[in-house]
Every structure is written in C-alpha cells, then in structure tokens.
Structure 1
Amino acid sequence: MDQNAAAASDLAAGIAAVLPALARLADRDAVALRLADTAACALGAEHLADSGGEEGTIARIRRYGTWGQGPCTVWADGSRASLDDASLRNGVAARYLDYNDTYVGRAVTHPSDLIPALVAFAEARGIGWDRLIGAITVAYEVMCRFAEQAQLAGRGFDGSSSLTPLGAAAGAAWLIGLDEKRSAEALCIAALDAGTLRAVRQGRLSDWKAIASARGAMKAVFAVRMVDAGCHSPEKVFEGKEGFCERIAGPLSIDAGGGARLPRTLLKKYPVQIFIQGLIELAQQLGAGVSAAQIASIKVGMSKQAVEMLGGANAGKARINHETADHTPGFAIGAVLLKGRMSHDDYAALLKDEGVLALMASVSMEEDAEATRAYPREFHAKMTATLKDGKAMVVSQRGPAPMDAASFARKLDELWPAGRPRTWPWQLAGEAPRFPG
C-alpha cells in the first residue's frame, strides 16, 4: 500500500459512492438545452467584446491566455488552446453576461459555470458525448444538492464559486472513470481552496465576479488530473474543526434521492440576476398602464433573501458599472420603463442614460413576509409605483414565467452571432445531441 495514501473524508467518500446513481439521472435533452444556453452566453459575450467600446474582462482574458495550439477549442473562433486556457476563457465568457442558468437553494448558484471546463477536459482526453453528458449530470447534481444545504453567505463566502469546484470535481472524476477512492481524493483536493470570499461581490465589482467560478472549475479539473497522476489528498478535508463544512459551508450530506436537479435549474430570459427576471416582467406590466414620466418612486417587495442579495433599501443607490448593473433592480426597472427592453447589448448605452439612472435612484426594496415564506419554492414579488399625482399602481407575481421554446429561440437570436451556424462549437466522438432551437 502507498504509505502516502490517506483515508478520504467521509463526505468525499459518500459523494464518490453516489456518482453512479447520479449519472443514471441523465436527461440528454435537458443537458443539451443547458449546453446550448451556455454556448450562446459565451458567444454573445465574446461578440460584444468585439463590438468596440471600453475594454472589459473578455479582452483581458484574451491577453492572459496563449491561443493557437492545444487539444481544446476556443468557442468564439474555433482556435485551439491548452486545457487550462480554454477552460478559463470559455468559462469566463459563459459567465460574463450573467445570463447563464441558476439554481436557488440556501445558496444561489450558476451550475453551468462548470460546463466549459468539463467540455475542455473531454476534448483533451478524447472522451465522447455520452460520457460528457453523464459527467455534466453528475456535476450538476452534486452542486445543486449542496446549494440546497450550504450556509455560505452568512459565513462570508460566495455561493456559486465556492460550490463550483465540488460539482466540477465530481463531474471530472466521472468523466475519466476514476474509481471511488480516487474520486474521493479528487474531491478533497478540490475542496481545500474552494471557498471564495464573498468580497468578490462587494463594492464596485471587478473582473473577478466573472472569473471566480471559471477558475474554480479549472482548479477542480486540476485536482482530478493530480489524483489521476497518482497524487494523494489530505484526509478529513470536509470534517473536523478545520474542515470545509465547519469553516465554510456548514453541514452537508448527499444522496441520490429527490429526483434530478439539473432539469430544475432556471434558464434566464434576461441578462440580469435571477431575482430580477420577474421584476422585468412586472415593469413591463407597469409600463403598459403608466409612463416613466408619471412615476415619483417605486418600491419593490420580495423575500428577505432576495432583498439582501440585491442591496436592500439601497437598491437604487449603488455605484453602477456593467458588473453591478445586472444585480441592480432599479437599473433593469428603469431600462424597461424608459426603453421597453433589456438585452445584453443595451448595457453600454443604458449605463450612460441619465433618465435610466434617475429612475433607478427612485427604486427601493423591502421584505415582503409572504414572499419570504414562499422562498425558495416561488419567487414572489410586488412592485408599487407611487405616481406624481399621489396615486399608486401595484403589480405582483408569484414568480417569473418559465423559459419556453419561443423565449429560448429569442435568446439564441439575441446572443448567437449572425451568420454563424447554430451547432456545437466543439467536436466530440459519438452521436451529438440535437442542437436545441
């Protein structure tokens, strides 16, 4: 026996043991839809970066990497890159617009943050479609189950980028067929530095908001590769007073019960934070009956969790840039009321629009007790507009309308570069799923 080998954490061993059962939950069409959604988000972000204006995160990532050679595809242009560079660039692009899918539990996460790294790993290892679909399923199921339990925000850690490494490590281990023991060790290595400080979302947000989860997925693949090469993890990484659960996430457990989570992840119709999706629809309702010029102020009532995440009473007072705008309710409400729309390529103009910024400043938020009781099953929201003549208009909903085929087709029309065939940006062995839309 290798004297360097250690007993993996109990939780890591439990995750590894349940991976086959999680893989059996695979829904090929549901995975394909999320793959297409993720690819569209990435291509839209890359195309926007080529459209001129101020330099952003995508341009900086392009300077960081080395392009032209390697086993993996850069989705934007079909060029080649190393596993790490392709994982990071495609992952940052997929995340940048805040348009990719979301899963809401105790932690709010973006499970598709891990997709680009798994696709790149499959390319690098010559692994086919069927195994990739199983690996993405495993990764989602682990990440979403932990999102339901993890108590990250109150401990000072970010939700998505702290859980992405765990899901991605599980998926990557399944992708290359690690046995239970080695899968558990890979999960331990991935957990060692998985916690991302919530400071990533505080103040005037930086490039790191788009980079953190992509880097977490890249590190998870690194952990799996290290174990595959024969390296060993420390023991009891999740347990004990110095472990991941005690220090970062709170108590965690896992099983394969409760049905598949991947098909329950929420696909976004608008390029804003998940709780703002419904506010755009409410603003559209409000705008049908009143003009922006008639409005003195707007108060939004939502769950305690949504209010805290979106800035509370100061929701309309935040310093604004692209990274904060997609998490600012007043910005989206102002855009819809004044311009009638909210798409990813509107941001540059809207950020300079004095009318939008003035209306944004009139928006405040408060907790709605009924919405808090319904969360996270439903995302209740109420919008009250006080008019300049003293009258009030109220619109409400139990949650945003779900993504349907027509909405997804519109999203592809918005994001997919004109003239580019709508097919998978990468090539893998085996039968590819039909491209949705």
Structure 2
Amino acid sequence: MSLTMTLAGFACGIDTREIPDEVMARALALVTDFTGSILRAAHEADSTPAVLAMLERLGMEGDGPCTVFGLNRHYGAAAAALLNGTFGHSLDFDDTHADSSLHPSAPVVPAALAAAELTGASGADFLAAVVMGFEVCCRLGMALDPTEHYARGFHPTATAGTFGAAVAAGRLLGLDAKAMSAALGVAASQASGSLQFLVNGAWNKRYQVGEASMKGLMAATLAASDFVGAEDAIDGKHGFLRGYSDGADPERAVAGLGTVWETLRIGIKPYPACRYTHAAVDGLLALRRDLNLAPDEVEAITVGLHRNGITLVGAPIAEKRRARSVVEGQFSMPFAAAAALLRGRFGWDDYDLLGKPETEALAARVDVVRDESLENLRHPFGATLTLRARNIDYRLRISDPSGEPETFPDAQAIAAKFRTLAGPVLNADADTLLNRLHALPQALSMRDWFS
C-alpha cells in the first residue's frame, strides 16, 4: 500500500472513541490556545483590513454558517477557514511541533471548524478530526526533513499544513479511504508557501497559512463530490515529498502511526515570535531576574542557534537588528532579546518597542551565530547564550524552550494566556467563550455552538 493510502486510511478509519483520552484533551487545549490568537489578530493585526477588503471586493463576505472568532458575523465555510487561519497565525503566537518545525493548529483547526459547522458534527468528532489533521501534517513535515525543506525556500506550515487541513475536513465530511486519498491528491496541487516574506517583513506568511486551511477544506469538499484526485500524491514519482525536499524520509510519515501520537508533541508558545527565538528569550529572562540586571548593564549578547534558526531569525544580522515592522520583529532574534531585557517579559503588547532608540541600541549588541552543537538533535529549537555584563560573561545552554511537551502549560496557564489575548476584544465575555471551548467535548452539534 502506498504511503498516501496508508495515511488516508488511518485518517478516516480510526473511530473517535479509539483515540486516547490524553490525546483528545491535548487537542482541546491547543484549540483553546489557538482561539485566543484568532481573536486578538482579528482586531489588531495590521494585515486584517486588507484581507477583509479582499473578501468584500470578491463577493466572499456574504453570510454563511461558519464562525470567525472576533468578528460579529458568520461567513461561508471557505472564507471562514481562510480568515481563522490567517488571523490565528498573524501574531506568531500559535503552537509549534518541534520535529516538523511547523505550526499545526493554524491550517488544521480552521478547516475542521468550518467542516464541523457545515455538517453539524459533534464536539468530540471535531476534536478527533483536529487530531487526525495534526498527525498527518506533523508527520509529513518530519518526512520532508525541515532543514532540507527550508533550504528549498518552503514554509512547512503552509505546505504540509494543506494536507492536514484536507484530512481534518475530509474526516468530518465522511470521506472513505479512497475519497480521502483523492483529497490528498488535490491538496498536493494546492500546497504552497514561500519563505521570501523574510526579505521585507511581508504579510505572506500569515496569509499563506490561512490559504492552506481554505485549500485543504476545498480539496476535501471536491473529494466528497467524487472529484478524481491524483493517486500517490505524497510519495509518487512527482509527489509532494520528492518535489519539496532533497532529503525526504517517507518512513517518518508512518512510523508508529496509531501508537505514537505527534499531537502530544505539540508545544504552546509563551512569546509571540518565531519559536527559534524562544529558548534564548527564556535564558535572558532568567538572567535578568536572577542577576537583577538592568538593560544598560548589558554589554554584549551572543546567541547560538540551529542553522534553521539562523535562516529565520539571525541573518542578515544587520537587518535583524533594525526590525521595524511586526513581521520583522517576529523574525528577529535581536529584537526579541531586546524586548525581553527591556520589559522583563515578551508579549504581544511589547511590539510597541519596535523602532524605539532604546530597543535598537540594545539589539545592536546582539549577535547570532550558528552553533553546531545544536545540530543533529531531536529538537532544533534550543539555544546557547553568552551575555556579558558587569565585565563578566554569563553562559547558558537552553535545550528546549518553555511550553514544549515536557513543560506543557497547565489549564490555568492556558486560560491566563487566552484571557490576555481575548480580554481586550471580548472584555467580560472572554470567560464565556472560554467556558464554551471547555465544554466542546460535550457538544452534540457544532452548528451554532459559538453563536
């Protein structure tokens, strides 16, 4: 059996009741966390007005059955998936899967939500579909080899994420294995996402992830209407793995399938920036606290990163030190370091530091280098840190950033992050939505659940 058919059969063949309780609970925690990012970005992301204007101009703003968090109206399913995916990824505060170096919720959850609302699926079936989407996109991301995929200039959340979205939506639309394979065949023609946004801090990154969610939903809907999709679209001669990587390992996509749950290896972000900045920020905050360190006492900082981190947040260093837009800040190790040292924290509201003289003066003291000791490890998100202050060099090695599975936040911490993001938008109604999210496993129908 082809790898494509193996994944298709798994995605639609396992019963909701067969998914371990801890996996379903983790999916609910991730959906809750992701919803907070959607809400805040719907109102504050700089790209939001342009996306809404595009939908209006194209006649896609019409009323429909599907929820878009943060907007006081419903949309058609395709538009809802696009908006929730784009908004949810706009703050760069959404979850990450280290082994695939991608953000699973951003493409998967919006497609699953739109399909669940279309079909009136139960909350449990919605969460099961989310799990299947996570499993497929994370496994494909691992099979690609993130380092090789990045080297080709691709953004794995948008590429592999398209398949995860198709699987999540297809499961809720009732696809059998043959139809699910067709959905993956269509998704293979839709998978796209370029790292070129790094050059000028463009908005492509957030949009291409929302588009992945929408395209995955569309692929599944085509398959539900008996559309014939390409066979062996993942592992075929001209398939996804061959076309998007020079070092793909197809076996990683199916190793432990159904017994090892990649959903449990997804981490939640404590800071709204590229995950490759987080370990160093953890270390800097610890030094600031433990040494009672003032920013003006910092003479120099050297951050060592995996080569993927250099690609995304460390080079070219002169430009990374002069981040001015939000996207530039989200992909700047020097800005993240400066924000953490100046504020003793790093949250969405700290992007007001962009372009300020004190920020750029501190960022100018940050260097980012490739640390080969961080290569060939299971996780690429660690960092080494040397901070010089008071004529002393302080050195740290942070193997994994906080929020990874070993330090996954508890329910109280997830709720606190949600309130920080949703509170300014919903005020007292933030807890009402939080309670509604917590009750999802008991929902008999997702139709109008959030109305």
Query: Shorter-chain TM-score category?
Result: 0.7 to 0.9
1:153-207 CA-to-partner distances (Å, cap 9, x unmatched) read: 12232111000111111122211221111110111011113132332x3301212
Which amino acid in the other structure matches residue 397 of structure 1? Answer: I
Shift of 1:287: 1.8
* Gaps in structure 1 of 5+ consecutive residues: 1-8, 50-55
Find the counterpart in structure 2 of residue 52 from structure 1.
none
Find the counterpart in structure 2 of residue 268 from structure 1.
269
Which amino acid in the other structure matches residue 12 of structure 1? Answer: T
CA distance in 2, matches of 1:233, 1:267: 35
CA distance in 1, matches of 2:186, 2:337: 43
Shift of 1:344: 0.7
Q: Which moved more, 1:263-272 or 1:305-314?
A: 305-314
- For residue 309 of structure 1, the aligned residue among 305, 312, 326 is 312
Classify the secondary structure of the residue corresponding to 2:199.
Answer: coil
Which amino acid in the other structure matches residue 419 of structure 1? Answer: A
CA distance in 1, matches of 2:192, 2:47: 22
Asked if the contact 1:45–1:96 (Cα under 8 Å) also holds between the matched residues in 2, the reply is yes
CA distance in 1, matches of 2:259, 2:372: 28
Q: Which moved more, 1:325-334 or 1:274-283?
A: 274-283
Shift of 1:241: 4.3
CA distance in 1, matches of 2:194, 2:397: 34
Find the counterpart in structure 2 of residue 103 from structure 1.
97
What TM-score do the two structures reach when normalised by structure 1?
Answer: 0.87
User: How well do the aligned residues superpose, as a CA RMSD in angstroms?
Assistant: 2.5
Find the counterpart in structure 2 of residue 335 from structure 1.
339
- For residue 372 of structure 2, the aligned residue among 362, 369, 373 is 369
Find the counterpart in structure 2 of residue 85 from structure 1.
79
Classify the secondary structure of the residue corresponding to 2:368.
Answer: strand
CA distance in 2, matches of 1:413, 1:238: 40
Cα gap change, 1:271/1:130 in structure 2, threshold over 3 Å: closer, same or farther?
A: same
Asked if the contact 1:312–1:364 (Cα under 8 Å) also holds between the matched residues in 2, the reply is no
Which amino acid in the other structure matches residue 221 of structure 2? Answer: R
Classify the secondary structure of the residue corresponding to 1:108.
Answer: coil
1:263-300 CA-to-partner distances (Å, cap 9, x unmatched) read: 21010111111122222221112223232112222101
Find the counterpart in structure 2 of residue 153 from structure 1.
150
Shift of 1:431: 7.5
Asked if the contact 1:102–1:274 (Cα under 8 Å) also holds between the matched residues in 2, the reply is yes
Classify the secondary structure of the residue corresponding to 1:416.
Answer: helix
Find the counterpart in structure 2 of residue 11 from structure 1.
3
Classify the secondary structure of the residue corresponding to 2:267.
Answer: coil
* Gaps in structure 2 of 5+ consecutive residues: none
Find the counterpart in structure 2 of residue 209 from structure 1.
205
Shift of 1:319: 4.4
Cα gap change, 1:356/1:239 in structure 2, threshold over 3 Å: closer, same or farther?
A: same
Find the counterpart in structure 2 of residue 5 from structure 1.
none
CA distance in 2, matches of 1:237, 1:202: 29
CA distance in 2, matches of 1:416, 1:241: 46
Find the counterpart in structure 1 of residue 183 from structure 2.
186
- Identity fraction in percent: 23
Which amino acid in the other structure matches residue 77 of structure 1? Answer: L
Residue 127 (structure 2) pairs with residue 126 (structure 1): no
Find the counterpart in structure 2 of residue 3 from structure 1.
none
Shift of 1:72: 0.7
Asked if the contact 1:71–1:80 (Cα under 8 Å) also holds between the matched residues in 2, the reply is yes
Asked if the contact 2:144–2:249 (Cα under 8 Å) also holds between the matched residues in 1, the reply is yes
Classify the secondary structure of the residue corresponding to 1:374.
Answer: coil
Which amino acid in the other structure matches residue 16 of structure 1? Answer: A
CA distance in 1, matches of 2:347, 2:382: 23
- For residue 222 of structure 1, the aligned residue among 189, 194, 218 is 218
Residue 167 (structure 2) pairs with residue 167 (structure 1): no
Asked if the contact 2:68–2:83 (Cα under 8 Å) also holds between the matched residues in 1, the reply is yes
CA distance in 2, matches of 1:103, 1:97: 17
Cα gap change, 1:67/1:423 in structure 2, threshold over 3 Å: closer, same or farther?
A: farther
Find the counterpart in structure 2 of residue 320 from structure 1.
324
Q: Which moved more, 1:250-259 or 1:140-149?
A: 250-259
Which amino acid in the other structure matches residue 135 of structure 1? Answer: A
CA distance in 2, matches of 1:342, 1:181: 47
Shift of 1:303: 2.6
